[in-house]
Chain A
Amino acid sequence: MADALSMKRREFLLASAGAAASARAAQTGSRPNILLIITDQHHASALAACGNPHLRTPAMDHLCRSGFRFAQSYTTDPVCSPARSSIFTGRMPSETGVASNGIAIRAGIPNIGEWLAAEAGYETVYAGKWHLPNSYTGNIPGFRVLGGGISGQGNIGDTCVSRVCEAYLRNRAPGVLS
């Protein structure tokens, strides 16, 4: 398994810069697709790949085996929306203004969707729970929202959200999920 621990910090920063550069390179035709999956409030100890002997998490274990696993990464906030605001902006919740759930990111702070769309020519799509104010959920800057999740819960929304994501991909690029 590739593990970020096995890389020196300098090597990782170089690799990260490479990823950013590849986003730029996307405009010239060699653009990778980027899929960011967020499992809500999911601690590493609840993954088989991280040593839990009681749970079966084959899909995420596969991602761990075939990619990098950051074993010493820490969230900026234990509450989900503030943590997500950091993931999407690269800033601390004290800067994004998302002090708790149900608060939108402060106006004027760009998120990664806006950056990828404006700077790298990506079509940016979001589906599922974010736990924003309802008035904001369908109008997230920088993203087309496919399905905004249901009542702040993942449980009921799982099959609905996976259905709309699957439909979007199949209709846009038939064969991509075959």
Chain B
Amino acid sequence: MNAGEAEGRGKTERAAGIVGEPLSPATLARIGAVKGFPAPGAGYRPEGPWVQAYRIFVCRGNVESGNEDVGCLRLERRPAGAGDSFKLIADQSVVHNDDTLHTLHAEMTCIRRPFAPLVEWRLTSRCRGASDALIPDLSVDESGRVSNGVVELHRKGGVARWKARGTVTSDWSLFAAIQDLPLGAVPAEAFDFLEGLSLLRTSYRLAYRGTVSWGGGGLEGPLHHFEQWGHGTLPYGFWLDRQRRILVAATLARAYILDDRAEEALRERREGRLQRNRQRNQRRKNG
């Protein structure tokens, strides 16, 4: 079965018009956003160490137009020294319509248990404008920790504390957690979800939805589908290969697509836009 046939059997003849279904590897292949995935590096193990880069893709709902890569997410899992903890470093860059580049850098310490519970983290958020200059009053520096079921967030203006109901994980640590689960099984309990490391959402769950066939881009074999849902955010789908790498994570119109060139492509795209802005400003200056 070809990539375009996977999961969307019966819908693949609809090559144009509206997308009409949630994003998934099959949908992404159908609209041309995925042609293949990088092969796993030699000695890849889900428990790390590893580095993974994802393109952040958005879809406006049409097959032919308006779909684009708007950023990248780089995740790095490292050992944290003794015990069962590990370090997870997340770097996310997203380009806004006005050419503002928003970057998040987070360093998290997590425990190697189901849902990769957060122990502590540091986060910086930075914005650069259309001329690439830093916008100082949009900068954020935060740190936080989870202790005895209480989430504590230190930020300018004070300390916020929230009582958690269960294990506290985050958008990014969930990537590491899901890759570390045995395929086909998930813990039954609910977990709490610290969205963007800043907003606590409670009572989330994870389910294993089975396999979907996939045969595109030099990668054979079924993809394993997990789904996360809870109050306040739309469900996330995660599709893993047999090596337990997340190839695609998707929610509504947004998808994270495993791509070794994601960072380089964003840099090139950003440089192109900056160049265009410089030329436009020069033209205005010259009258």
Contacts and interface: CB of A to CB of B under 8 A. Distances in A.
Q: Do A and B bind each other?
A: yes
Interface of A: 56, 134, 137-138, 145-153, 155-157, 159-160, 162-164, 166-168, 170-172, 174-178
Nearest to B100: A147
A160 B126 CA distance: 10
Given A159-B198, A160-B96, 4 more contacts: A147-B100, A155-B234, A163-B140, A168-B138
Interface residues of B, number: 40
Contact of B102 (A137, A160, A177): A160
Contact of B158 (A152, A155, A160, A175): A175
A159 B156 contact: no
Q: Is the interface of A mostly helix, strand, loop or mixed?
A: mixed
B156 A150 contact: no
B156 to A, nearest CB: 5
Given A155-B58, A156-B56, A150 B70 contact: yes
A160 B252 CA distance: 17
Contacts of A171: 136-139, 156
Interface string B131-164: 0000011111000000000000001111010000
14 contacts: A56-B232, A138-B129, A150-B70, A151-B66, A152-B66, A155-B58, A156-B56, A162-B196, A164-B100, A167-B125, A167-B137, A170-B155, A170-B156, A178-B158
Contacts of B104: 163
B68 interface: yes
A157 B96 contact: yes
B99 interface: yes
B97 A166 contact: no
Contacts of A159: 195-196, 198
B254 interface: yes
Nearest to A139: B98
Contacts of A148: 96-98, 100
B140 A166 contact: yes
B100 to A, nearest CB: 5
Contacts of A160: 94, 96, 102
B127 interface: yes
A168 B156 CA distance: 11
A166 B199 CA distance: 12
